[in-house]
């Protein structure tokens, strides 16, 4: 299977991806700054035979060490999400744009495959959010994070000749229990807050978003890495399932079916105008990719782990980006 470099490999998706790759027989290198207190996760990876390079994706020395012997790159490392990028736009540009371009340039001619993690947020606010949009649809980013992902996609897809087999993956909003847990993602946060008998304030409850379980996101990446080159070279794939588009209102109602705790109020705000339903038929038809968990199943999984006391203090900083 060769050696795969996973940047951000000790992160939310990264830990699940490393497990997927190890189970499939890949050698794995991880480059991660361990910004969110993942030293224990890094050690767990080392114990499974993963080469862990602790370093910043912006550091050319760290990138050089991590790329040694790599046949493929999965680039997950980023300042992820709209709030984090808005908090420090300069840092977001350094990490999400400049470091990504540098990594791709250094990987050119060395690796055979390069998988770029992107986002369905690239679709922004659709004129008609009731009709799911596919990979050929208009990109209309409304946040700095999505603008940066669109810029990187366009740059890499425009390289001619292509220096490696490039595939860009636009992930649905990720949720679910994972080794490096996050409670700042919509499904996880809503479930935690209501289960914990808190007051949940929801805005934009009628807006549509697609969702994908973190393990299925990792499986999507492995599917791309193991697919024939001709099926994925120069392609963009939405990663998720068309049936897994929900409004925030739908999420709350599903959580309510599984717990009677907490209070919910709906408020009007204008700062997040994203509203989009996404079509995922391409990855299903071309690569026979299927999800293994739905949002209701993910909510049940999360409630079960909360009930079991797995997350003693879910408000700790390490549980959010």
Instruction: Write the pLDDT tens digit of every residue in 157-182.
Output: 999 999 999 999 999 999 999 999 99
Distance of alpha carbon 195 from the chain centroid: 24
Together in a domain, 85 and 227 = yes
Tens digit of pLDDT for each residue in 41-72?
999 999 999 999 999 999 999 999 999 999 99
Judgement on whether residues 231 and 183 belong to the same structural domain of the protein: no
User: Over 90: is that where the pLDDT of 83 sits?
Assistant: no
Across the range 2-16, mean pLDDT stands at 97
Say yes or no: 47 and 194 in one domain.
no
Which tokens go with 78? 């980023």
Asked whether residue 70 falls in the same domain as residue 135, the answer is yes
Q: Could you tell me the CA-to-CA distances from 173 to 53, 57, 209, 210, 211 in Å, in that order? A: 28, 23, 7, 6, 5
Given 195, 220, 239, the domain boundary residue is 239
Which stretches of 105-234 are assigned E, i.e. beta strand? 113-119, 165-171, 173-175, 199-203, 208-213
CATH of the domain at 202: 3.90.25.10
Catalytic residue among 145, 211, 246, 289: 145
145 is catalytic: yes
CB distance 76 to 7 below 8 Å: yes
Q: Are residues 164 and 185 in the same domain?
A: no
pLDDT of residue 273: 66
Domain count, the chain: 2
So what's the pLDDT on residue 272?
A: 58
> Going by C-beta distance under 8 Å and a sequence separation of 6 or more, which residues neighbour residue 67?
5, 73, 106, 107, 110, 111
pLDDT greater at residue 193 or residue 320: 193
pTM above 0.85, yes or no: yes
| 67 and 164 together in one domain | yes
Q: What is the mean pLDDT of residues 234-238?
A: 98
pLDDT above 90: residue 268: no
Whether residue 261 is contained in a domain is answered as: yes
Average pLDDT, whole number, for the chain? 95
Please tell me whether residues 131 and 155 are part of one structural domain.
yes
For residues 123-146, give the mean pLDDT.
91
DSSP reduced 3-state for 6: strand
| Amino acid 8: pLDDT | 98
Per-residue model confidence (pLDDT) at position 189? 98
CB atoms within 10 A of CB 268: 7
Q: Is residue 282 part of a domain?
A: no
Q: Using CA atoms, how far apart are residues 163 and 107, in angstroms rounded to an integer? A: 8
Query: 144: domain CATH number?
Result: 3.40.50.720
User: Which domain covers residue 193, as residue numbers?
Assistant: 176-209+243-273+292-319
Q: Are residues 150 and 22 in the same domain?
A: yes
Q: What residues contact 160, with CB distance under 8 A and at least 6 apart?
A: none
Residue 280 lies in a domain: no
Together in a domain, 219 and 71: yes
Interval 243-261: pLDDT, tens: 999 999 999 999 999 999 9
Q: Are residues 170 and 25 in the same domain?
A: yes
Edge-to-edge strand list for the sheet holding 235-239: 51-54, 27-32, 3-7, 72-75, 113-119, 165-171, 235-239
Interatomic CA distance for residues 126 and 13, integer angstroms: 27
Give a three-class secondary structure readout of 40-69: HHHHHHHHCCCEEEECCCCCHHHHHHHHCC
The yes-or-no verdict on residue 183 having pLDDT over 90 is yes
Q: Given this model, what pLDDT does residue 263 score? A: 97
The residues facing 247 across adjacent strands are: 208
Residues 38 and 130 in one domain: yes
Q: Beta partners for 210?
A: 245
Asked if the model's pLDDT at residue 269 lies above 80, the reply is no
**Claim to verify: residue 150 and residue 253 sit in the same structural domain:** no
pLDDT for 109 equals 87
Q: Is 102 domain-assigned?
A: yes
Q: Is residue 29 part of a domain?
A: yes
């Amino acid at each position: 299977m060769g050696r795969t470099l996973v940047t951000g490999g000790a992160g939310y998706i990264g830990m699940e991806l490393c497990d997927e790759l190890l189970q499939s027989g890949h050698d794995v290198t991880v480059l991660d700054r361990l910004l969110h207190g993942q030293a224990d996760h890094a050690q767990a990876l080392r114990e499974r035979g993963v080469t862990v390079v602790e370093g910043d994706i912006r550091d050319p020395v760290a990138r050089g060490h991590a790329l040694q012997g790599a046949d493929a790159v999965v680039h997950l490392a980023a300042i992820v999400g709209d709030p984090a990028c808005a908090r420090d736009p300069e840092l977001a540009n350094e990490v999400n744009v400049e470091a990504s371009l540098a990594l791709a340039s250094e990987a050119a001619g060395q690796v055979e495959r390069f998988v770029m993690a992107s986002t369905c947020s690239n679709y922004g606010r659709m004129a008609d959010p009731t009709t799911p949009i596919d990979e050929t649809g208009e990109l209309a980013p409304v946040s700095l994070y999505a603008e940066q992902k669109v810029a990187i996609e366009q740059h890499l897809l425009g390289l001619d000749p292509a220096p490696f087999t490039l595939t860009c993956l636009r992930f649905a909003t990720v949720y679910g229990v994972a080794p490096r847990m996050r409670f700042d993602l919509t499904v996880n946060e809503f479930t935690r807050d209501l289960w914990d008998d808190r007051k949940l304030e929801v805005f934009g409850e009628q807006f549509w978003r697609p969702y994908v379980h973190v393990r299925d996101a990792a499986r999507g990446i492995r599917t791309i890495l193991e697919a024939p080159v001709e099926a994925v070279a120069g392609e963009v794939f939405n990663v998720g399932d068309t049936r897994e588009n929900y409004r925030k209102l739908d999420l709350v109602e599903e959580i309510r079916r599984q717990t009677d705790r907490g209070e919910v109020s709906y408020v009007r705000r204008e700062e997040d105008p994203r509203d989009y339903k996404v079509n995922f038929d391409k990855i299903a038809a071309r690569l026979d990719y299927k999800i293994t968990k739905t949002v209701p199943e993910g909510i049940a999984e999360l409630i079960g782990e909360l009930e079991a006391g797995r997350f003693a203090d879910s408000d700790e900083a390490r549980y959010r980006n």
